[in-house]
Structure 1
Amino acid sequence: MKSAVFILILLSFVCYSQKKYPEKYFQSPLDIPLVLAGTFGELRSNHFHAGVDIKTQGKEGLKVYAVAGGYVSRIKIQQYGYGKAIYITHPNGYTSVFGHLSKFKKEIESFIQTIQYKKESYETGNIYPKKDQFTIKKGEVIAFSGDTGGSGAPHLHFEIRDTKTEKIINPLIFGLQVPDALAPTIRTLKVYPLSEGARIYQQNNSATIPFKKTAKRKYTAERVFANGLIGFGINVYDQLNGAQNKNGIYSLEMLVNGKRHYYHDVETFSFSESKFLNLLIDYEYYKKYKRKIQKLFKEEKNKLSIYESLINHGKVNIQEGLNYVIEIIAKDYQGNQSILKIPIIGQSNNAILKKEKDTTNFKIIANNFQKFTEKNVTIAFPKNTFYADTFIDFKVDAGIAQVHMPVIPLDKSYTLTFNVSKYAALEKEQLYIANLEYPKYPRYVYTKKKDSTFYTTTKTLGTYTLRKDSLSPELKMLYIVNNQWVSKAKTLKLKISDSDSGINNWRATIDGKWVLMRYNHKKNILTYNFNDKKLFGSKHIFKIVVSDNVGNTSERSLTFFRKI
């Protein structure tokens, strides 16, 4: 009897610990065959991809359907990020999210335009309609696909979240059908010494290990001679049927002599932990070579919840005189897998070549607030900005501040301050702080100005300087000239650009009243839709003022005629 009770308790524990998701509750958000341009949990810059990117056959304007019944719980329009996005909360405890839309269905589009005109802003921030304001039925057209926000091409960004926790869940778990018969491709293998005494080929440096494909979906690496505590990392991507995109994988596993030593997958995660991606990857390698190596061991400060079944945090202790077989298994969501085998020979440390320790005049104690000043430039790091104690380089030469190299991930932002007391008032107006990661293309960083100091907060180490922008933005009207009749035109467009600090804002009016101009920052085109507002009379005056990030402005105005 007692054993039966124990079995029931054990079974209930297993059922509880393995979350069950409804597989037939949600339908597809599009009525075309689904091909992905991006997978869930894909490694992006400083974050995991929070949904799937569904290709829309290179077009905008495809119907987007509600995947289940519910109500519109949030609407957000932003210039970057998800662009035009809509959130639908469903009664089963989940919320679906649709991003990069071109427009919403008529009632929602009208509702949001009213808010935009009231705020006199294209960006709305988060709008939370009342629960009964927009009830939605499963299969109802809620929007149309587009290319708004930080999209690189037309597609639909689709997410499913837990309504209570806001944790994002892989949409494929809910039964979204995406053909995929292709296994992941492994491109690079690295091995790392993880203690002072560890050696790889008699060195205390990381090494790239050659390997070859020995069979379909199978790879074998050259023998590795090592000793002490080591770890592995691979660069790997996945492809799906019908697409050339190099996507992310679903899971990584490592076996040591047949026993699981490491495992993680991207079933679910929270936005707050996404930043720890920079500890999952070899961040320095990524910044230098633009290729992400996923570590198969867990760093001490890494708080990702994606790990399970870790032995010694995935670190492998190689002992002299023993042989090991490491197997790294990369899988996509459909279970297609590639296996990389690595033979390891435990070798004694006869010749010891240690990695040189970095030492500079600027030592970071991670748990302390620290501040350094060089030649009118100050850097200030809050406690725990860095994940570990380290030395950084900091020098200022000819007004250019080198704050180490951008190869160390930061947990928090630090403050970079320039003393500008030597500049005249007019010069200060035209100055801004620029990042010089690409010296030919200085990038404006948000600059806060006080009388004698300019400062910015950033999570990126690297090179910064003060730049001067005395040029106003360039404006060019498209397809229209002064005093033209435009009765058949659907839109009014102009091209805007700024060669230095970049476009900051714009304000357009027709007959003195604010009008909504949609900005396509990829093509630098502003567009007004004549259907937005009814115009009275036939003669109209259009005026626009465009400002860059230091306040230089340009204006254009013209008269046009349109039949009532």
Structure 2
Amino acid sequence: MKFYSFLFLVFLSQFGFTQHQYPKNYFSSPLKIPIVLSGTFGELRSNHFHSGIDIKTQGKEGIPIYAPADGHVSRIKIGQYGFGKAIYIEHPNGYTTVYAHLQKFKNPIQQYVKFIQYKKEKYAIGNIFPKPEKFPIKKGDIIGYTGDTGGSGGPHLHYEIRNTKTEKIINPLLFGINPKDNKRPTIQKLIAYPLSDDARIDNSTNKAVLQFKQVEEGKYITDRINAYGIIGFGVSTFDRLNGATNKNGIYSLEMKVNGTTVYYHDVETFSFSESKFINLLIDYKHYKKYKKRVQKTHKVLENRLSLYKNLVNNGKIVIENGLNYTVEILIKDLKNNTTSVKIPVKGVKSNLIFQQKDTTNFKITAKNFNKFQQKNSIIAFPKNTFYKDCFIDFKVENGVTKVHTPTIPLDKRYTLTFNTTHLTDLQKQQVYIANVDYPKYPRYVSTKKKFNKVYTSTKSLGSYKLLFDTKKPYIKLLNFYNKQWVTKHKKLKVKIIDKESGIRNYHATIDNQWVLMEFNHKKGILTYDFSDKKLVGSKHLFKLVLSDNVGNTKTLKATFFRK
């Protein structure tokens, strides 16, 4: 009976690994250049999984993007950060394709967007939802041009495919895009974790970094470890594709114990709402300390990711005294290039005395509202901000409020409030809250002010301090000077900087009429395109008003001439 149950379990496990069948020939490539990826679907990013593929554009901007199938423009998004300029095309087969970080859109879409920007007198206009008949699209139509807008780290095209109805994102490589890839994933680090109070690894209650050696191509083995109780494993790994040196994400991670699969997940599809649980998939404390992501091959109860398939005991392994185990971890990319590592384990019970866990005066009961005060600082955590009960450090020393260390992932934002009754009226205007985890590089955090207090809402534990911004922002004309003829110029460019609280907003006019200036926040450059509107006359007054996050304002005026 046990034998048949085992076969049934194996059958279910293998059946669970099969992919949904997606149309392979419906969508053509959005770019007519060789497809080389700098980022893969489901790649581990800060607080989220990568929701598309990043296609390299040979270091260039302005490469045409072609509609891969018939459809209509269902959404246009313009933001300073994130996707930057993005366009969404809904297709009749039930999928929506998404293109982000664009330099610009193809007319008439570009004209339509600029009309709205000038009407609202804003660059970042959020989402636009045109009616289906507004911009019908045929397969092969140019819809825009590749760029570097938003949170992009360099010119490329971010490309997504979503289920239109559910908005779940699906790996675009499952639809027929076929970049060359014959490289196996690489293992960087392998860690073993004691998961129960009585668990030991090599007679220690601490996690252990395991050394491994290659036995043949793509196959590794570790020295034998002695263990007892409930244990788990984690692996730091990346994958490379042909034609690029980028360290990309893997497709699947599997763990077997004595030949039976007990853990499996892959990045076929996921929803945006679950992406935040990446912080429970990885060893979050290790990541915050060493900036390396270790994917755990065991699942905690609070983790609601849908990536997992047919887990046995959530991937946690019960090691019994006197028994031997062979643990094998298999790492694959979408082309089934595989790297594996075997870990021999011997069950050895330890006599090491259990050590009491650290506690503080600030106990978090996750299901309750938690509020604490120290000197002039108050922290307030809504219900279920933390995934589980814990103790945190909370103290105020030398003006720095330390809310634990940023090594515990949070599900919700909490509020940090500072009392400002001791500040002068001028100081209250100039004050802001800064994160000072790295004291040499304080970082402004969104600061709100009420009578005699300032506060912020954040999902990051760490150290915070009140700082003061007393300086006005800096403005410099870049490609023209006052009273210059600029007839041959296509654009006006201005450099803007604020090293304290940061730039909050800007307002530019020519001859007292608002003009659209695009802000490249990575270079600190504002750009106006003369093709936007026809100027009347030859003498013109350019004016720029720039404000930082505490309200310090700088105004620049310059005259230019243009035929």
TM-score range, shorter chain: over 0.9
TM-superposition CA deviations, 1:33-70 (whole Å, max 9, x none): 10000000000000000000000000000010111110
2:412 maps to which residue? 412
SS at match of 2:532: coil
1:287 maps to which residue? 288
2:71 maps to which residue? 70
Q: Check the 8 A contact 1:205/1:355 in 2, yes or no.
A: no
1:167 maps to which residue? 168
* Residue identity in the other structure for 1:534: K
SS at match of 2:531: coil
Does residue 544 (structure 1) correspond to residue 529 (structure 2)? The answer is no
1:426 maps to which residue? 426
> In 2, Cα distance between the equivalents of 1:379 and 1:268?
37
> In 2, Cα distance between the equivalents of 1:354 and 1:544?
66
> In 1, Cα distance between the equivalents of 2:124 and 2:314?
44
Q: Check the 8 A contact 1:252/1:265 in 2, yes or no.
A: yes
> In 2, Cα distance between the equivalents of 1:148 and 1:183?
32
SS at match of 1:457: strand
* Residue identity in the other structure for 1:309: N
Does residue 328 (structure 1) correspond to residue 329 (structure 2)? The answer is yes
Residue 349 of structure 1 and its aligned partner are, at CA, apart by 1.3
> In 2, Cα distance between the equivalents of 1:56 and 1:348?
56
SS at match of 1:531: helix
Residue 213 of structure 1 and its aligned partner are, at CA, apart by 1.7
TM-superposition CA deviations, 1:471-495 (whole Å, max 9, x none): 0111000121111110010000010
1:7 maps to which residue? none
1:474 maps to which residue? 474
Residue 353 of structure 1 and its aligned partner are, at CA, apart by 4.9
Does residue 397 (structure 1) correspond to residue 425 (structure 2)? The answer is no
- Pairs within 5 Å for 1:67-216: 67-216=68-217
Residue 235 of structure 1 and its aligned partner are, at CA, apart by 0.1
Name structure 2 gaps, 5 residues minimum. Answer: 1-10
> In 2, Cα distance between the equivalents of 1:355 and 1:488?
75
Residue 169 of structure 1 and its aligned partner are, at CA, apart by 0.1
SS at match of 1:522: coil
TM-superposition CA deviations, 1:235-260 (whole Å, max 9, x none): 00000001010000000000100000
SS at match of 2:387: coil
1:4 maps to which residue? none
Residue 205 of structure 1 and its aligned partner are, at CA, apart by 1.4
- Pairs within 5 Å for 1:258-273: 258-273=259-274
> In 1, Cα distance between the equivalents of 2:353 and 2:21?
52
> In 1, Cα distance between the equivalents of 2:19 and 2:537?
66
* Residue identity in the other structure for 2:449: K
SS at match of 2:411: coil
* Residue identity in the other structure for 2:469: D
SS at match of 2:253: strand
> In 1, Cα distance between the equivalents of 2:283 and 2:141?
44
SS at match of 1:19: coil
- Pairs within 5 Å for 1:330-409: 330-350=331-351, 352-409=352-409
Q: Check the 8 A contact 1:204/1:353 in 2, yes or no.
A: no
TM-superposition CA deviations, 1:344-368 (whole Å, max 9, x none): 0111213x05455120010000111
SS at match of 1:106: coil
Q: Check the 8 A contact 2:19/2:268 in 1, yes or no.
A: no
Does residue 33 (structure 1) correspond to residue 34 (structure 2)? The answer is yes
Residue 545 of structure 1 and its aligned partner are, at CA, apart by 0.5
TM-superposition CA deviations, 1:369-405 (whole Å, max 9, x none): 0100000100000011001100000000122100000
> In 1, Cα distance between the equivalents of 2:558 and 2:468?
31
2:6 maps to which residue? none
Q: Mark the CA change 1:70 to 1:336 in structure 2 (over 3 Å): closer, same or farther.
A: same
1:305 maps to which residue? 306
Q: Check the 8 A contact 1:235/1:293 in 2, yes or no.
A: yes
Aligned-residue sequence identity (percent) comes to 61
* Residue identity in the other structure for 1:525: I
* Residue identity in the other structure for 1:521: H
Residue 164 of structure 1 and its aligned partner are, at CA, apart by 0.4
Residue 212 of structure 1 and its aligned partner are, at CA, apart by 1.3
* Residue identity in the other structure for 2:531: N
Q: Using structure 2 for the length normalisation, give the TM-score.
A: 0.96
SS at match of 2:108: helix
SS at match of 2:41: coil
TM-superposition CA deviations, 1:291-320 (whole Å, max 9, x none): 000000001100000000210000000111
TM-superposition CA deviations, 1:429-466 (whole Å, max 9, x none): 00000001211111110111001110010000000010
Q: Using structure 1 for the length normalisation, give the TM-score.
A: 0.96
> In 2, Cα distance between the equivalents of 1:353 and 1:502?
52
> In 2, Cα distance between the equivalents of 1:412 and 1:167?
22
* Residue identity in the other structure for 1:240: L
* Residue identity in the other structure for 1:434: A
Give the number of equivalent residue pairs.
Answer: 550
Does residue 516 (structure 1) correspond to residue 516 (structure 2)? The answer is yes
1:461 maps to which residue? 461
> In 2, Cα distance between the equivalents of 1:470 and 1:224?
59
Q: Check the 8 A contact 1:280/1:294 in 2, yes or no.
A: yes
- Pairs within 5 Å for 1:489-500: 489-500=489-500
1:5 maps to which residue? none
Q: Check the 8 A contact 1:410/1:459 in 2, yes or no.
A: yes
SS at match of 2:464: strand
* Residue identity in the other structure for 2:75: R
Q: Check the 8 A contact 1:205/1:354 in 2, yes or no.
A: no
TM-superposition CA deviations, 1:86-139 (whole Å, max 9, x none): 000000000000000000001000000000011111001110001100000111
> In 2, Cα distance between the equivalents of 1:228 and 1:512?
74
* Residue identity in the other structure for 1:480: F
Name structure 1 gaps, 5 residues minimum. Answer: 1-9
> In 2, Cα distance between the equivalents of 1:410 and 1:340?
32
* Residue identity in the other structure for 2:235: I
Q: Check the 8 A contact 1:203/1:353 in 2, yes or no.
A: no
> In 1, Cα distance between the equivalents of 2:349 and 2:463?
43
SS at match of 2:492: strand
- Pairs within 5 Å for 1:220-299: 220-299=221-300
SS at match of 1:526: strand
> In 2, Cα distance between the equivalents of 1:144 and 1:273?
31
> In 2, Cα distance between the equivalents of 1:178 and 1:300?
37
Residue 504 of structure 1 and its aligned partner are, at CA, apart by 0.8
Q: Which moved more, 1:278-287 or 1:210-219?
A: 210-219
* Residue identity in the other structure for 1:453: K
1:444 maps to which residue? 444
> In 2, Cα distance between the equivalents of 1:453 and 1:386?
25
Q: Check the 8 A contact 2:233/2:296 in 1, yes or no.
A: yes
Residue 19 of structure 1 and its aligned partner are, at CA, apart by 2.7
> In 1, Cα distance between the equivalents of 2:223 and 2:315?
21
* Residue identity in the other structure for 1:91: P
> In 2, Cα distance between the equivalents of 1:287 and 1:203?
23
> In 1, Cα distance between the equivalents of 2:490 and 2:202?
69
Residue 425 of structure 1 and its aligned partner are, at CA, apart by 1.2
1:527 maps to which residue? 527
2:24 maps to which residue? 23
Q: Check the 8 A contact 2:95/2:163 in 1, yes or no.
A: yes
Q: Check the 8 A contact 2:410/2:459 in 1, yes or no.
A: yes
TM-superposition CA deviations, 1:71-91 (whole Å, max 9, x none): 000000100000000000000
Q: Mark the CA change 1:355 to 1:89 in structure 2 (over 3 Å): closer, same or farther.
A: farther
What stretches of structure 1 move > 3 A for 4+ residues in a row?
353-356
* Residue identity in the other structure for 2:332: K
Residue 424 of structure 1 and its aligned partner are, at CA, apart by 1.3
